[in-house]
Each structure stands twice: as structure tokens, then as C-alpha cells.
Amino acid sequence: MGFTKPNPKAFGIVLERLGTWPRKAAYVGDGGSNELEGARQAGFGRVVFMEGFVASNGLRNPEELETFRRTADVVIRQIGELPKLLEL
């Protein structure tokens, strides 16, 4: 591929291979590698921060968590929250 997250080009290549437009896609991540900002720059229709695991296990400091929350459109704690969020 030649690019890795958080480079927006990496996200664009994945979306192209999936045959979808960024605005019709949602990106779900735990904030590692500045992925949420990369997804935002790539034009994803919705950026979702799944904070449950990283918050409960102390994998991120409070400042990082707050940055991820501000970057995301939506914050969820568990993957089970996605279907309702995405209206599936």
C-alpha cells in the first residue's frame, strides 16, 4: 500500500478497495497512532472513538482521552453500541 495510518492516503486506499465514498463510511478506533485525526482528514462521514478498553485499562492518560473525545464525532464504550449508532 505504501502508506500507514494516520496518513489520510492509507484510509483512502482502503475505502477505494471497498468501493465506497469516505462520507458514507464510519471509522471506529481506540485512538492509537493518531488514527482518529487521520480518518477525519480522509473525510470519513463519522469518526467513532471506542474508549472503553483504553480508558478502563489505563492505556491512555486523561489528556490523550480528552483529545480523542474532541476529535471524534461520537464516543462509545463498547462495540455493541455500534449497530444502533449506525442505524443497522
Instruction: Measure Cα distances from 58 to 36, 44, 79 in Å.
Output: 19, 28, 19
pLDDT band at 54 (very low <50, low <70, confident <90, very high): confident
- At 28-39, the pLDDT tens digits run 999 988 999 999
| pLDDT at position 85 | 85
Higher pLDDT, 67 or 58: 67
Strands 46-50, 26-29: parallel, antiparallel or unpaired by DSSP? parallel
Asked if pLDDT for residue 88 goes beyond 60, the answer is no
Walk me through the domains of the chain, giving residue ranges and CATH numbers: 8-85 (3.40.50.1000)
| pLDDT at position 6 | 92
| pLDDT at position 86 | 81
DSSP result, 23-50: GG-EEEE-SGGGHHHHHHHHT-SEEEEE
